[in-house]
Amino acid sequence: MAKCTFLGLGVMGAPMAGFLVKAGHEVTVWNRTAAKSETWLSSYSDGKASMAQSAAEAVAGADCVLSCLGDDPDVKVVYEAIMSSVTAGQVYIDHTTASAELARSLQADLASQGAMFVDAPVSGGQAGAENGQLTIMCGGEDAAFAKAEPIMQAFAKQITHIGGPGAGQQAKMVNQICIAGIVQGLSEGLAFAQNAGLDPAKVIEAISKGAAQSWQMENRWQTMVEGKFDYGFAIDWMRKDLRIALDEARANGSTLPVAALVDQFYADVQAAGGNRWDTSSLITLLKK
């Protein structure tokens, strides 16, 4: 078992850190809001876990440091604060969905101090984190991944080493690009079915075992029809992820017309007050 530190106890990080405790690791946590660390201890600690007063204190002496933060600026601030505590042999795993450029920069900074780094964004949402069933896309050197993988197994159903530093973040961009198109297509199909006077349940029964099938269809069609949008990944976060993907596309010469259009549709939902609705709320723009 390893001595692990987890930085960031949001809706994703808190249960992920909890699974590390369940797996038998010695866990220290830190969150910018100390109250969240205290709440986490009362919910997940087995008597071995502890909280640190600062990020630098949290990582000192750890074998493995995991983080799950908000966006590039958040990651930069936290990693700048901990660099003075980095020691050779440590492995750092960042589960934040952030830019590939930042991942490569962090890898270089940590390598200069003899530490290793894996960019490891996740897919599966809050439910995946709470059930320990996340899909993790990893970028980093082979040695870093080999050291990180056994730790991540505590909360993952699938872990894939995509390539070198930044490749995990780029794979997550692919994930979000695909989801954007799928959710928009499902929204249009369901709205069409309702406008045509069809029973959505029967339509889904008919098409969900064929080529149109998707996770979004199986898990979101009913809540979309019912107008319930508090089931997962918020639009604010999806737009952040799409911004990162669109920036990367401009840098590598890719054209993402559908992703760019769906991003604007999400902006329309935000303007209607749906910032914290889940991504399936695209259908609200199509309702009569």
pLDDT digits (tens, 9 = 90+) for 85-121: 999 999 999 999 999 999 999 999 999 999 999 999 9
| CA nearest neighbour of 114 among 144, 145, 82, 152 | 144
∠ CA 243-14-173 to the nearest 5 degrees?
20
For the chain, domains (ranges, CATH) are 3-164 (3.40.50.720), 170-285 (1.10.1040.10)
Q: Which of 22, 172, 240, 288 is catalytic?
A: 172
DSSP 85: G
Alpha helices in the chain (DSSP H): 13-22, 34-44, 55-59, 72-82, 100-111, 125-130, 142-152, 167-195, 200-207, 215-226, 235-252, 257-271
The phi, psi pair for 122, rounded to 5°, reads -120, 160
Identify the segments of the chain with pLDDT beneath 70. Answer: 288
Kindly tell me the burial class for residue 10, based on how many C-beta atoms sit within 10 Å of its own C-beta (0-12, 13-18, 19 or more).
Answer: middle
DSSP run (H or E) holding 158:
strand 156-163
Other C-beta atoms closer than 10 Å to the C-beta of 191 total: 20
Task: Check if the beta carbon of residue 91 is closer than 8 Å to that of residue 148.
Answer: yes
| pTM for the full predicted model | 0.94
**Beta strands 156-163 and 134-139, pairing class:** parallel
Task: Check if the beta carbon of residue 186 is closer than 8 Å to that of residue 214.
Answer: yes
Please give the pLDDT value at position 148: 98
Please give the pLDDT value at position 103: 98
Query: Does residue 76 have an active-site annotation?
Result: no
Task: Check if the beta carbon of residue 159 is closer than 8 Å to that of residue 152.
Answer: yes
Please give the pLDDT value at position 1: 86
The token pair that represents 106 in the structure block: 């962090």
The token pair that represents 132 in the structure block: 């320990």
DSSP string, 181-227: HHHHHHHHHHHHHHHTT--HHHHHHHHTTTTT--HHHHHHHHHHHHT
Task: Check if the beta carbon of residue 160 is closer than 8 Å to that of residue 138.
Answer: yes
| CA nearest neighbour of 166 among 249, 104, 108 | 104
